[in-house]
A and B are shown apart, each in its own frame.
Chain A
């Protein structure tokens, strides 16, 4: 039994490789939890070849935006447009297969599997071997397994975790776990990477290395959407910043505009008393 009909291994699409093309866009995105409007008519754009960052105080709805974009929550209004296609109504695994890979704020690895297996799982949606071809080890299945392993190994080396390949994911250091999660996201051959606070819990050096690593990913042609708390990190790496507060967009622009924007300062530090 084959779970997936089209067994073509998808290459990252060339169509949206042009710099400045908008690859992901949310239009009037709205998400409510009961009476609480977590995201309110929110517009966001991510352009090809750029690192876009979403910032905002705690509880502004940043992670909710991510969860709606990646299909974990259905949107209550508005659209999520990725590569020209409306993603509303797709399941998370279908969205992953369309080329959006993500990491989580609190690391979510497959903790009792080895690091290599963790990264190999990223290739799942690019392969098609079913039960029978796995049991009888058809030549196509073996070829697929070889390719899965090749991609996983190269991604693991890319994030510098090759030495940990046979260790269980729960047994490696915290900083490495973050990198492993990124490697797993990369192994899905994505067109867009979404990272939810990748530097949280990392020390300054680790966080610097991470930001350098993100820059190298851009050179691969991978646009990145970040949620980030650390202002120094945000200002240092972002090409474009969107600021969110109470579910709404309050500002957007290149880092230096945001830095001096009074609305942003107010959202973060509060209004000065008269």
Chain B
């Protein structure tokens, strides 16, 4: 436990110094690392903690991003006000969509979430009510304004914004992992019938994990929308959902440090090996196969134990 805290402090200090010594390009790369981390963490609640196969996670991300985009460009609501609203919108969407399907198991749930992700993407493409701008998407999204002249505009400012959000999320998620709720989630993952018979309300807790995961993805969508200043459906494809899935599996499902490492691998490697961009998918494939073979639990699986008092 002590060791983890030391590692955490070193990483935090390194993250603070990094943007002042690195180029803008690298700062942007690490910003997207932050976005992927947040998305990975949000999916980790659903896939890692509760073991529900959600292959439509990009839909929640899209709902958050489009909520920000539409409300900001149409009504001029400031980005920071929309930060929680995007989270709540994505969470509400998850609640609405997942309530009727939450009892499905394993692969059945997986297929329905794929469908959900595709429906959201196609709906955005079809420009319902002239709101989403079809394939062009929505542009002209403002920068977040903290008040007065304090505008988050530079790469460094965005970098800090996302990593502060990631830091707060990690803090909250670690506490949740070690609480009654986190343990109950893990119980459901291990054996649903036994969990139910032990007095755990499986249905509500599954729904809760979807709501929380979607909310976090919605927040990531908000930051993404204001960073890019535009959103379009092509950022929320099935391949993106697969990518988030890879992040969690690569790092170790149910493991927070693992998810961060997974997000790092998925977001940094394509940048490092830019010249090999054509072979990106090949690399992913090989990496996944190799990992399943050599480290089926992920790169940094969660260690349990150390709970007993004596």
| Contacts from A to B (Cβ < 8 Å) | 1, 3-4, 70, 72, 91-93, 96-97, 101-102, 104, 108-114, 116-117, 120-127, 129-131, 134-135, 137, 141, 144-145, 148-149, 153, 162, 165-168, 184-185, 188
Contacts and interface: CB of A to CB of B under 8 A. Distances in A.
B181 A130 contact: yes
A72 B199 contact: no
A1 B202 contact: no
B301 to A, nearest CB: 10
A145 to B, nearest CB: 7
B308 A131 contact: no
Contacts, number: 128
A93 B172 CA distance: 27
B153 interface: no
A67 to B, nearest CB: 10
A108 B308 CA distance: 22
B186 interface: yes
B305 A108 contact: no
Given A1-B208, A3-B204, A110-B191, A121 B198 contact: yes
B184 interface: yes
9 contacts: A93-B198, A114-B305, A120-B183, A121-B187, A121-B200, A123-B180, A124-B183, A125-B198, A125-B199
Closest 6 CB pairs of A and B: A125-B199, A96-B199, A134-B179, A110-B190, A166-B305, A108-B194
B181 A131 contact: yes
Most buried by A among B187, B198, B199: B199
B195 interface: yes
B201 A93 contact: yes
Most buried by B among A3, A102, A127, A153: A3
Contacts of B183: 113, 117, 120-121, 124
B274 interface: no
Contact of B197 (A92, A112, A114, A123): A92
Nearest to B205: A3
A93 B208 contact: no
Contact of B308 (A1, A112, A116, A135): A116
A129 B309 contact: no
Contact of B307 (A72, A123, A165): A165
Given A120-B183, A148-B180, A96 B307 contact: no
B242 to A, nearest CB: 25
Given A113-B186, A166-B307, A96 B212 contact: no
Given A3-B205, A108-B191, A121-B200, 6 more contacts: A113-B187, A126-B199, A130-B181, A134-B181, A141-B179, A188-B198
A79 to B, nearest CB: 20
Contacts of A165: 307-308
B307 to A, nearest CB: 5
A134 B180 contact: yes
Contacts of A104: 193-194, 197
Contacts of B308: 116, 153, 162, 165-166
Contacts of B193: 72, 104, 108
A162 B197 CA distance: 23
A149 B309 contact: yes
Contact of A117 (B195, B199, B204, B307): B307
Contacts of A162: 308
Nearest to B212: A131
Contacts of A168: 304
B186 A3 contact: no
B105 interface: no
Contact of A93 (B175, B181, B186, B202): B202
Contacts of A130: 181
Contacts of B176: 131, 134-135
Contacts of A188: 198-199
Contact of B172 (A101, A102, A116, A135): A135
Nearest to A96: B199
A131 B199 contact: no
A113 B181 contact: no
Contacts of A116: 307-308
